[in-house]
């Protein structure tokens, strides 16, 4: 079995506070891997370490077959990231944003133009293409940010609460985009605290107080705890 | 290189789309120069003075006449006793008092040294210092005049040298100070804010996980602000020369080099501030307290460093703007070459290198890759 992400004994401390406490997990290629947990459970810290934005206190991480500590350069080329906050430039137009990130990833101009046209067509935002991102509704912005994170065709995409504050209809749309990407072999790590979204993941990882409580397929977890929904699974785990 | 260009273009777009800020940036040097040019004027005229003349002889009368003949001083009161001096000050009718000792004429004729006392109201230290200098200068002139036929008189030990060019004197002070302030606002403040903004909105992380080197990213981001700050500096210098008759005796090349050097200093401070702060507000506050105020108050721009307590003086000499202003004055007013301004230039260079190393290290230490 091919694993694109291998995490071993990962720990992150901020002073006396242990945000992530000795966690280990593996993620397969093309998998949609969900990180669940209450605020402060350590989801975002984990994602930020995986992206190279935070230095772990101890532990080992392997991404796309590269050791994080020795092959950062190679890893950068094959990961995409979408942060909790909306992070495109609001005073630039949609095309300018896409061109900026495309150029930074050294995508040849012709290919980049093609990809930008595809994104605009896929998101159905042709009328907005030359207007500032500022003028887009939030749901569209989130979809655009996702598309931007995918512009260099990464092997792994990290999505940190991509759908928070977005209405259910757009969330459905967003998850369709996630499925499309996964079917193309892109590994997706997503954090969320919507329980219905948890059902969409191939595998889930429940975190609380920096530790992994349980990892498994949503259906198998429901069977294991003999309940009908993920919300109930979550309650069983937290009440344990 | 492509990504460097892309970030550079993006930054210019940010700047040119924010028209309000852009107008503000370019209007600032003009407003500052005009404002300071018409408010910090240290030249004096018609200052009310009082005289306590113990001698009441020919020479003392001559001196008083000479004092009041200038447009600087206006005799408003003849005093009769020492106690009246205090009174006159308290009533606010005079700003300076002159005390002429007994036997003034006699000591002069006999080539003895004599001392004249100048008492100035020091509630405004700047005005007081200026009054003192003017007074001393007139006394010295007077001395020379009455002794011009004698070769062996005992000269007064008045060591204040002051050129009588009042309107220029303030330009000497405020043009170099303004250049320093503009550099700090445009370069340090704007760079730290633009970097802090990327952090605040989260776009910094979007860029930080891309293959682009963080240093490349920061440099591409700050180049536009460097250009703007140089343009603003040029505006201040030109306004100073053509509007306020600021002399420009040194070489423009050296002036440019020193300005670029200080711009780099300001830039590195801006980067450092953005590294240690999380939001734009924090960055702005730190710039104001840590940079702008020291440059305004401690650099010798408004208050002479020599008049500060030694503990504050130490801080003054730590503030980079102090050295920048010293170098600017030497180049513009005295026409100094690199040999004369080597000390400030060396200090600024060293400061810049240290700051750049520290900020780059801090910047790089945050990420794994």
List, edge to edge, every strand of the sheet that includes B96-100. B73-79, B47-53, B96-100, B117-120
* Domains of chain B and any CATH numbers: 2-40+168-364 (no CATH), 47-164 (3.40.1710.10)
Whether residues B205 and A83 touch (CB distance < 8 A) is answered with yes
- Please report residues of B whose CB lies closer than 8 A to that of A101: 206, 210
Greater confidence (A34 vs B152) lies with A34
pLDDT-above-70 percentage for chain B: 89
pLDDT of residue B215 exceeding 50, the answer is yes
Alpha carbons B292 and A172: distance in angstroms, whole number: 51
Provide the pLDDT for residue A149.
92
Q: B215: Cβ–Cβ under 8 A, 6 or more apart, which residues? A: B360, B363, B364
CA triple B297-B303-B308, angle to 5 deg = 90
* Domains of chain A and any CATH numbers: 32-41+78-239 (3.40.50.300)
Q: How far is CA B141 from CA B45, B165, B228, in A?
A: 18, 16, 48
Alpha carbons B6 and A104: distance in angstroms, whole number: 7
Q: What ipTM was estimated for this complex? A: 0.84
Going along chain B, which residue ranges are E strands? 47-53, 73-79, 96-100, 117-120
pTM of the model: 0.75
- Please report residues of A whose CB lies closer than 8 A to that of B365: 55
Greater confidence (B153 vs B311) lies with B311
pLDDT (mean) for B225-231: 92
- Please report residues of B whose CB lies closer than 8 A to that of A76: 209-211, 369
Give pLDDT tens digits for A201-219.
Answer: 999 999 989 999 899 998 9
Q: Does B1 touch chain A (CB under 8 A)?
A: no
B167 confidence band (pLDDT: 50, 70, 90): very low
Provide the pLDDT for residue B334.
80
pLDDT of residue B154 exceeding 70, the answer is no
Nearest to A72 among B14, B17, B368 (CB): B368
CA distance A75 to chain B (A): 9
- Please report residues of A whose CB lies closer than 8 A to that of B201: 85-87, 90
Report which DSSP code applies to A207: E
Nearest to B206 among A76, A83, A91 (CB): A83
Nearest to B210 among A54, A76, A88 (CB): A76
Q: Does B8 touch chain A (CB under 8 A)?
A: no
Burial B340-349 (b: 16+ CB within 10 A, else e): bbeebbebbe
B160 confidence band (pLDDT: 50, 70, 90): very low
Alpha carbons A57 and A55: distance in angstroms, whole number: 7
Plot region of A158 (φ>0 → left; ψ -120 to 50 → alpha; else → beta) = beta
Residues B282, B307 contacting (CB under 8 angstroms): no
Q: How far is CA A227 from CA A199, A207, A222, B368, in A?
A: 13, 19, 5, 41
Q: How far is CA B17 from CA A90, A92, B13, B110, B207, in A?
A: 11, 9, 6, 78, 21
DSSP characters over A152-182? T--SEEEEESTTTT--HHHHHHHHHHHHHHH
Q: Residue B79: which of B62, B71, B91 has the closest Cα?
A: B91
Nearest to B206 among A54, A87, A106 (CB): A87
Provide the pLDDT for residue A38.
83
B158 confidence band (pLDDT: 50, 70, 90): very low
B225 confidence band (pLDDT: 50, 70, 90): very high
Whether residues A76 and B5 touch (CB distance < 8 A) is answered with no
- Please report residues of B whose CB lies closer than 8 A to that of A103: 2-3, 5-6
Give pLDDT tens digits for A99-121.
Answer: 999 999 999 999 999 999 999 99
Provide the pLDDT for residue B168.
38
Plot region of A165 (φ>0 → left; ψ -120 to 50 → alpha; else → beta) = left
Q: Where is A110: in which H helix or E strand?
A: helix A109-123
Provide the pLDDT for residue B157.
43
Strand partners, B22: none
Q: Where is B171: in which H helix or E strand?
A: helix B166-183
Plot region of B92 (φ>0 → left; ψ -120 to 50 → alpha; else → beta) = left
B164 confidence band (pLDDT: 50, 70, 90): very low
Q: B120: Cβ–Cβ under 8 A, 6 or more apart, which residues? A: B95, B96, B127, B128, B131, B132, B135
Give pLDDT tens digits for B90-103.
Answer: 777 888 888 888 88
Provide the pLDDT for residue B171.
65
A154 confidence band (pLDDT: 50, 70, 90): very high
């Amino acid at each position: 079995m091919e694993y694109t992400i291998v995490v071993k004994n990962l720990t992150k401390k901020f002073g006396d506070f242990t945000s992530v406490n000795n966690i280990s997990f593996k993620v397969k290629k093309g998998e949609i891997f969900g990180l669940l947990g209450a605020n402060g459970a350590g989801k975002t810290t984990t994602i930020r370490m995986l992206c190279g934005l935070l230095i772990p206190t101890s532990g080992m991480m392997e991404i796309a077959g590269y050791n994080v500590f020795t092959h950062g350069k190679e890893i950068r080329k094959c990961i995409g990231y979408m942060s909790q906050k909306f992070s495109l430039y609001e005073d630039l137009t949609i095309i300018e944003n896409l061109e900026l990130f495309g150029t930074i990833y050294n995508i040849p101009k012709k290919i980049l133009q093609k990809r930008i046209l595809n994104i605009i067509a896929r998101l159905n935002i042709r009328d907005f293409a030359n207007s500032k991102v500022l003028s887009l509704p939030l749901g569209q912005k989130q979809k655009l940010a996702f598309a931007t994170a995918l512009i260099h065709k990464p092997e792994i995409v990290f999505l940190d609460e991509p759908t928070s504050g977005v209405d259910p209809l757009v969330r459905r749309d967003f998850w369709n985009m996630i499925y499309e990407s996964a079917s193309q072999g892109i590994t997706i790590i997503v954090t969320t605290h919507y329980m219905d979204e948890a059902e969409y993941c191939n595998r889930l990882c429940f975190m609380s107080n920096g530790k992994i409580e349980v990892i498994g397929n949503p259906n198998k977890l429901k069977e294991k705890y003999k309940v009908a929904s993920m919300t109930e699974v979550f309650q069983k785990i937290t009440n344990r | 290189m492509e990504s460097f260009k892309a970030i550079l273009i993006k930054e210019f777009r940010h700047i040119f789309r924010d028209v309000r800020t852009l107008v503000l940036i370019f209007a600032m040097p003009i407003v500052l120069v005009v404002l300071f040019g018409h408010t910090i004027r240290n030249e004096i005229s018609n200052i009310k003075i009082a005289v306590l003349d113990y001698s009441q002889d020919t020479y003392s009368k001559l001196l008083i006449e000479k004092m009041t003949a200038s447009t600087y001083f206006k005799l408003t009161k003849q005093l009769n006793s020492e106690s009246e001096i205090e009174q006159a000050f308290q009533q606010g009718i005079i700003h300076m008092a002159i005390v002429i000792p007994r036997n003034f004429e006699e000591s002069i004729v006999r080539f003895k040294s004599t001392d004249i006392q100048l008492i100035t109201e020091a509630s405004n230290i700047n005005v007081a210092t200026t009054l003192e200098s003017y007074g001393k200068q007139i006394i010295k002139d007077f001395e020379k005049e009455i002794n011009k036929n004698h070769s062996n008189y005992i000269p007064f030990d008045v060591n204040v040298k002051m050129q009588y060019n009042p309107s220029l004197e303030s330009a000497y002070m405020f043009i170099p100070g303004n250049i320093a302030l503009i550099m700090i606002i445009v370069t340090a403040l704007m760079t730290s804010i633009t970097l802090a903004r990327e952090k605040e909105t989260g776009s910094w992380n979007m860029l930080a996980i891309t293959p682009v080197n963080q240093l490349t990213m920061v440099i591409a981001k700050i180049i536009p602000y460097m250009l703007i700050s140089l343009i603003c500096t040029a505006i201040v210098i030109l306004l100073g020369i053509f509007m306020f008759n600021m002399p420009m005796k040194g070489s423009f090349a050296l002036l440019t080099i020193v300005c670029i050097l200080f711009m780099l200093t300001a830039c590195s401070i801006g980067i450092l501030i953005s590294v240690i702060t999380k939001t734009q507000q924090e960055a702005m506050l730190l710039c104001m307290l840590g940079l702008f105020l020291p440059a305004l108050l401690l650099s010798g721009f408004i208050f002479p460093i020599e008049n500060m307590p030694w503990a504050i003086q130490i801080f003054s000499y730590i503030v980079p703007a102090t050295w920048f202003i010293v170098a600017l004055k030497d180049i513009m007013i005295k026409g100094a070459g690199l040999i004369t301004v080597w000390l400030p230039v060396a200090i600024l260079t060293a400061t810049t290198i240290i700051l750049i190393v520290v900020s780059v290290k801090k910047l790089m230490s945050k990420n794994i890759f």
